[in-house]
Amino acid sequence: MSSSSSTKVKASHILIKHQGSRRKASWKDPEGRIITNTTRDSAVEQIKAFREDIVSGKSKFEDVASTYSDCSSAKRGGDLGPFRRGQMQKPFEEATFALKVGEISDIVETDSGVHIIMRTG
């Protein structure tokens, strides 16, 4: 099954960093003041609320990512572009490859923080 290892996926994500995140700074919080005061539970609550708004149609994934994501991909509406296995942190990769195009993941936790992922290709 070596062909599956070279398969690329495309995805967008929304990241909320917290006190336990590997890097406690982001484009919207360069000093990390908000991030260092955000508990993991609080980050999970935020991302759950974003997911509900997106799934219900109240908000667009890209808009939420652009405004709230702690990843620099926020500039592109959360778009990470194409990647293959081995390029992302394992939990992120596994969640993305398990999604169908257009599907949005449940909460995924990595060393970076908590994410929701939308597979786009």
Q: Which among 19, 42, 66, 89 is annotated as catalytic?
A: 89
State which H helix or E strand residue 84 sits in: strand 79-84
Concerning whether 18 is annotated as a catalytic residue, the answer is: no
13 is catalytic: yes
- Catalytic residue, chosen from 12, 59, 73, 112, is 112
Q: Pick the catalytic residue: 18, 71, 73, 105?
A: 71
Helices first, then strands: H and E counts in the chain: 5, 4
Residue with tokens 């908590």: 114
Report the distance separating Cα 47 and Cα 1, nearest Å: 35
φ, ψ dihedrals at 72, nearest 5°:
-65, -15
Please tell me which residue in 13, 18, 26, 59 is annotated as part of the active site. Answer: 13
- Enzyme catalytic residues: 13, 71, 89, 112, 115
